[in-house]
Amino acid sequence: MAFEKSEEANAVLSELIKRINEDRRRMRLLEQSIERLENSLSALEGSALSQLSDFKLSLDRIGSKIEATAARLNAIEANIAKLGRGADKTATKLELKQLESFIDLVNPITSKFVTKDELDRALEERARKRV
C-alpha cells in the first residue's frame, strides 16, 4: 500500500509539475504578447506625437499665411479707398472734350495764324480802301 501511495503521490506530483510547467509556458507567452503590445503602443504613441508636431507646424504656417493675406488685403483696401478719393479729383469726360476742343482751336499745325507782315499788309490795304 505504501508503494501505491508513493506511486499515486508521484502521479499527483508529476501532474502538478506538468501543470506548473504548462502554466509557466502560458505565462511566458502572455508576457511576450504583452511586451509586443507595449512595443506597438509605444510606436503608435511616438507616431502620434510626431504627427501632432507636424500638424502644429502646418497650422502655424497656415496661420502666418492667413495673417500675410489679411495684411495684403488691408493694403489693397487702403489703395482702393485712395483711388476712390483720387477719382473725385480727375477730369470728367465732358471736361476732357472741352480741353480737346480748346487745344484744337489753338493748335498751330491745324490753325492758320497770321504773321506780323501779313497783318501789316492787310491793315494797309484796308486803310487804302477806306480812303
98-118 per-position pLDDT tens digit? 988 888 777 766 666 778 888
Cα separation, 81 vs 77, whole angstroms: 6
- Residue range 10-18: average pLDDT? 93
Whole-structure pTM over 0.75, yes or no? no
Mean pLDDT of the residues in the chain: 89
CA of residue 109 relative to chain centroid, distance: 58
Q: Which three cell numbers stand for residue 66?
A: 492667413
Q: What angle do CA 99, 100, 105 make, to 5 degrees?
A: 95
DSSP state of 111: S
Asked if 104 and 110 touch (Cβ cutoff 8 Å), the reply is yes
pLDDT band, residue 4 (cuts 50/70/90) = low
Set of cell numbers at residue 126 = 484796308
pLDDT 10s digits, 72-96: 999 999 999 888 887 777 878 888 8
- What pLDDT sits at residue 33? 97
Confidence of residue 28 (pLDDT cuts 50, 70, 90): very high
Question: What pLDDT was estimated at residue 75?
Answer: 95
How high is the pLDDT of residue 6? 83
pLDDT (0 to 100) of residue 2: 53
Percent of the chain's residues with pLDDT above 70: 92
Q: What is the CA 45 to chain-centroid distance, rounded? A: 30
Residue range 56-61: average pLDDT? 96
Predicted pLDDT of residue 46: 96
